[in-house]
Structures are given as C-alpha cells and as structure tokens.
Chain A
Amino acid sequence: MRSNKILNVALVGNPNTGKSSLFNQLTGLNQKVSNYPGVTVDKKQGICKLGDSVKANILDLPGTYSINPNTIDESIVLETLINKDSKDYPDVVIVVADVVNLKRNLLLFSQIKDLEIPTILAINMEDQLERKGISIDIELLKKELNSDIFLISARKNKGIDALKKAILNPKNTNKTALADFSNRMDATFFKEVKTTFKNHSLYKVWLMITQLNDLSSLTEKEQKDIEKFREDNTKLSKLQHKETVLRYQQINNILKKTYSVDQSKATTLRAKIDRVVTHKIFGYVIFASLLLLMFQSVFAWSEAPMNWIDSIFAKLADFTRNQLPEGKLTDLLVDGIIAGISGVIIFIPQIVILFLFVAVLEETGYMSRAVFLMDKIMRRFGMSGKSIIPLVSGVACAIPAIMSARNIGNKKERLITILVTPFTTCSARLPVYAILIALVIPKKGYGMFNLQGLTLLGLYTLGFVAALTSGYILHKTLKTKAKSYFVIELPDYKIPSVKNIAMTVLEKTKAFVIGAGKIILAISIVIWFLQTNGGNKFKNAKEIVKNEVNTSLSETEINAKIASYQSEHSYLGTLGKIIEPVVAPLGYDWKMGIGLLTSFAAREVFVGTMATIYSVEDDGEENIPLQERMSKEINRNTGEKAYTLATGSSLLIFYAFAMQCMGTLAIVKRETNSWKWPIYQLVGMSVLAYVAAFITFIILK
C-alpha cells in the first residue's frame, strides 16, 4: 500500500542566503503563490517528492534576520512557527544559512531551535568556502549545535539529495532547545512567567509577551496574563537586548572551535566595488544609466514582439469571423472577447522586460546600493531610500510595487510611498500613451531625438515629479510622528541565477496577466453588450435613418449611418451622453468619455474599450487597425477630428495623473487597513487629473 504522507516543511533564513534558490531547487515548477489570510504577504508553497510515498509541502517563509519581527513580512515567520494548531505548522524547519555570514545566521537558527521544532541547518554556498578561505568543522558543529547540518550549494544542486533524506525522517531530527538564557536574563521575572504558564515552553511565552500582536488563539485568562507581563516596556526591551547579546556569546564560543577564516584570502572586494558604486558622482551616473538602459530596452526590445502579437490577433479575429456564422455570438467573440484579450496580451513583452530588469537589479544586490544612495534625497520628500524599490518597480505595475513598500519600517515613510507610487508610469498606461502619441504627436525628429519618444520620456518624468511633489506635500501635512528604523544590509554582489530570475518574472507576469485579464475581459463583454442593445430608437434604427436621409446615398453609406445611429442610441451611447457634459470641457466626445469611465477599472481598458466601440460601429468592414479607425473618428459635437493635438494631449495628461486602477485601490486598502487612504487617493489624483487635462486642452486648442 502506498500511503500518501505529506510533510510540512518550512524554509527560514536571512535575506540573501539563497533561500529562494533552494526553494526552486526543491520544488521546480510545482509551486504556487497565494496570500496569507488577512494580509497580502505572498505565500510561496511548493511540492517536493521525497520518496515513493512521501511528499513534502515546502513553505518558503519571508526572509528575516531574527524571529523578532520589524515588518509585516517578518511577523509571518513568527506566527507560522508559534501556532501549533495552524495548518502550516511545520513538521520540520530548514534554516538556510550562508557560509560567509554564518555567525549572524546562527542567531536566527538558535531562536528557532529554542522553539523546539525539529530543525535542520542547511549551510548554503558551499562553493564559496575555498574562495573565501573558510573552513568549517561540520562534525563538531553538529555536536555543539545538537542538530543535523548539511553543506549545500543550492545553485549548483549539491547536497540537496542528502537534505531531502533528512527531511524524510523528522523524528530523528533533534528538537531540544539549545540553551536556556532565562536565569541569566532575569531569574525572578522568568520564574513568575514559568509559574503562570505551566503548559507552554518558556521561550514561546517570552515571544508571545514581546512580539505577538494577535493573541486570539489564547484563552481569555492567558491573554490577561500576557498583558500583565507587558506592562514594563523598558524592562522588556532591555531583556531583549540582553538575550541577543547572550545568544551571540554562545554562538561566538561555538564558532571559535568550529569555524575559521584565512584572513589572507578574505577579500574586501565588495567594499571596493561599493566605494565606486555608491560614490557621490559615479554612483548617480551608474544609477541614472541603469534606469535609462531599462527604459530604452523596454521600448526597443518590445516593439517587434508587440507587432507580432498584434498581427496574430488581427488574423485570429478575421479567421474567427470568417469561420463562424454571422450573428450576435460571433460578434461577442470577435468584438468583445478577442479584442479584450488582445488588449492584455499585447503588452506582455513590455511587462516581462520591466520585471526582468527589476529582478536582475534585486538579484545582483545592486538595488540595496540604490537605496543607500537615494535615502537622504528621498527623505526630503517624506520617503526613505527603500521607497526607490516601489517607485522603480511601479514602472511595471503599482500593485506589486505597493506590496514591496512593506520593507519600509517607518510608518509615515511607508504610507507616503504607498500613496504616491501610483503616479509612476505603470505599464498599463503604456498602451494608452502609445496609441495616443502615435495619433496626435507629429513624427518629427530633432537630431538624434524624436518628438514622439521625447513625449513619452516627458510623461515618465511627469509621473516621477508628481510622485515626489505629492510626497513633499504629504510630508509637510501628515502629522504622524514615527520612529525611523533604517537598517539595511548591503549584500555581496552575485551573478544572478537565470533560474531564479525566470521564476520571478514568470510568476509576476502570470499574476499580472490573470489579474488584469479578468477585469478587461469582463469589461469588454459588458461594453459590447451595452453597445449592441438599446431602447426603441436603437431597435428601429434602420427605418429612422432610411426615412431621414435622402435615397441618393449608396448602400454602404446608409449602412454606416445606421451603425453610427445605433451606436449613439445604444445603452452605452445613452450613458455616454449623460457623462458627456463632464468630459466636454476637456475636449472629449461621449465615446472617449466611455473610454475614460471604463478606465477607472484599469487604465489599459481604454484601448480595449475603444477597440470594442469602434469595431462595433464599423460592423461588416474587415478588421482595420484601431489606430487608423481612431484617426478617422469625428467628434460629433465639433465636427472636427476627435483626436487632435489638444484633445490627445489632454487625454495623455489625464492618464498621467488619474487614479484609474481598482486593483491598486484594493491593495492600498489592504496595506493601509482602511478605506480612508484609497478614497483620498482616488479623489485627489482624479481631481488633479481633471484640472491638469482641462488646462492642457485650453492651452493647445
């Protein structure tokens, strides 16, 4: 009989120890990302086959330096390891450490060991041993730490099999605590704790007292007792410091016997590189060049695949229309669904390139240097150097960007970062910008610059300037005082692992396409329905138009008139005309108004909406590109072309500032835990967008 035993295994470790590499090595493509209940921390899980009948459910916990959490991400580690009843409670914990920073990694190991969960120590980057002149006496270390220890190289797939075997027999894995520091910390205090909580291990109770926010898993009496011990805050913090010092003393004593570094081989290469990379002048030159390279590649490399995707979908639409019988269902498929999906798929190339760049910058370790360089400057705008990561990755998508703001320990800096990140030009604005720029900005060149490219660059700059300016205003107006804990590690430079980067890009792109795709698809279908249905005037369009126009017109001309009459009197047209007075001052007609309105779900919906609106009107004609259709479009109020320099620019400015993304609003709500901030964001940014678009239109008209 094959029993299907599943073991829960948790990976814990400092950031930059290669924990993700090990996770990828163990699980391959069998991984999924979900959310922890209540918070938006990514929960990475994967299945690993250990033997014929045993599988392990590997949980990749967020990187942390200790079990005492400073950020939301880190508190997940504590909560997972402390609650025995949780379904994620591990049967085995693997602490991933790296050979170079073993001492610091052992601090976390010693804390976890004291929780009395079976714990294995995996010392990663075995391949660095020789180069760094490090030697470790593993056998002695095993004895001293009373644990299973494995030297591995996750990137080179070394030592992984032995590790898997050890997971298989968790019972054999030692689970006694390393040491009891309580007497040396404060004997009377801990004696009292011990007598109050007889049924819990002392270290666990200590963590509950000092760290745990959510005490709901405890009985009412226990909660009261915990509160009692919490009264003297200064004392607790002193004890925590003392505990850390004692732990390090123990670790130092152990490492003295088991770990040595040949100082002649210990290079200071990292510090040497850093003197250049973080230099007052070169540092900024390097940072600016990298950003420039990133934007350049996003546009240069994505053009060909985007054109290719565009033509594929045009062919698919033609093919579908020709193969299927004429009718409403075919219309829905071609004008609603295919048009909608192509609106998302088309900018996969740009998103992939952006995510790729951000992933490479993070993986190599460069991103921390940028944080270091930018911290003081960003502080003037109410943010921290760490805000660079959200602001740069906001260029791909504001949703993961806002989530990455979690690493900012200071509450005020984090809030401001979250509030201003949506101003950065995300990839969803790109398709809108691309089509509008092509329509209204002349294709002129000045030397090596071309006007269309400059406009795009200008819009990106505008986004950053808007983010910084509003950051400055918020910095001056928000009254919250928060203590700042800015400590970041500048990790060793690494050649990025192709596998890790591929996984990150794949996972983020997938999440984005599915998330945005669902909204766009739904909206496309709704728009199509509203536009192909209507009241009496819509139903009797044929008769009304035929009675009105003179009969000398050709049949195609009459058909075109019917189509546009129908479109105007459909439900969508009626709705459009209701909002038209609002958008008319900005120079838009009702169709553009509808595009704007649907864009509040997600910006990229604009292109899909316009595609649906115009292709329904052009019913019967073959599929001509959207851009051509738009350039022919006439504004029914002015009788002039709908897309001129003035209206187009006004639209561009509107999209640059407006908060048009339900996904972002939902994330902001979750991350700030209130509706107040997303509502401020929505109202503030949209009012700004309206005013700025109005001024733009007036000036250019």
Chain B
Amino acid sequence: METTVADLSIGEKGKIKEVCFNDIPLKLLEMGCMPGKEVELVQIAPLNDPMYIIVNGSHLAIRREIAELIKIETTAPKNLCEVIKS
C-alpha cells in the first residue's frame, strides 16, 4: 500500500510523488497539485470527508476519493508538535 493524501493526519505534511493522469481532474493540477509539491492536511470535515489541504499556496477542499489518488511520501514526522512539546 502506498501512502496517499488520504492517509495524512491533521497537521501532517507530505510531498507529492505522482498523480495518476487519468483519474485526477485537470483542475486539481491547475490549482498547483503536482509532483514535487508539499501538501499539508489542515482539517478533515465531520464524517471524515472532504479533506482540507494546502498545496502550492492554495487552500483547497477535495473529497477523500480524490485524495486517495494523490500519492505522497511523508516529510515531517507524524507527531512533530508533540515531540517539541515534550
């Protein structure tokens, strides 16, 4: 299983690895969601969907089904904030 944006937890960041050409709407790409960019998960809506991400300076809301198509490698450790606090 590869990690996707849908696997991020709130506050976590990742780097986009690849975007499936056929499944992703062009619009998402146009908003700056492309390989090499850092993506941060800001919030997940109640009922676990949609997801609020920041990528390439754009604040976007996308549905989980699309988030699952954006493959990433996680950059920051999962609980960075807690590490610093402790």
List the interface of chain A (C-beta within 8 A of B).
65-66, 68, 70, 100-101, 103-104, 107, 234, 237-238, 240-241, 244-245, 248, 270-271, 274-275, 278-280, 283-284, 368, 371-373, 375-377, 385, 484-492
Contact = CB atoms under 8 A, between A and B. Distances in A.
Contacts of A486: 50, 61-63, 66
Contacts, number: 116
Contacts of A107: 30
B21 A375 contact: no
Q: Which 5 A-B pairs have the closest CB atoms?
A: A376-B47, A490-B59, A485-B25, A66-B30, A372-B61
Contacts of A373: 45-46
Contacts of A66: 26-27, 30
A631 to B, nearest CB: 48
B34 A489 contact: no
B46 A283 contact: yes
A473 B24 CA distance: 30
Interface string B38-66: 00001101111110101011111111011
Contacts of B30: 65-66, 68, 104, 107, 244
The B interface, classified by DSSP as helix, strand, loop or mixed, is: mixed
Contacts of A487: 25, 27-28, 31, 60-62, 66
B27 A372 contact: no
Given A103-B56, A375-B45, A489-B31, 7 more contacts: A104-B31, A248-B34, A376-B48, A376-B50, A486-B62, A490-B60, A492-B59
A371 B60 CA distance: 12
* Contact residues of A: prevailing secondary structure: helix
Contacts of B49: 375-376
A401 to B, nearest CB: 21
21 contacts: A101-B57, A238-B22, A241-B19, A244-B30, A248-B32, A274-B52, A275-B42, A278-B45, A283-B46, A368-B61, A372-B50, A375-B63, A377-B46, A484-B65, A486-B50, A486-B63, A487-B25, A487-B61, A488-B60, A488-B61, A489-B59
A278 B60 CA distance: 13
B29 A245 contact: yes
Nearest to A380: B47
Nearest to A492: B59
A103 B32 contact: yes
Nearest to A66: B30
Contacts of A234: 22
Contacts of B65: 484
A123 to B, nearest CB: 15
B44 to A, nearest CB: 9
Contacts of A241: 19, 21, 24, 26, 29
A491 B57 CA distance: 11
Contacts of B28: 487
Given A274-B43, A490-B61, A491-B59, A372 B52 contact: yes
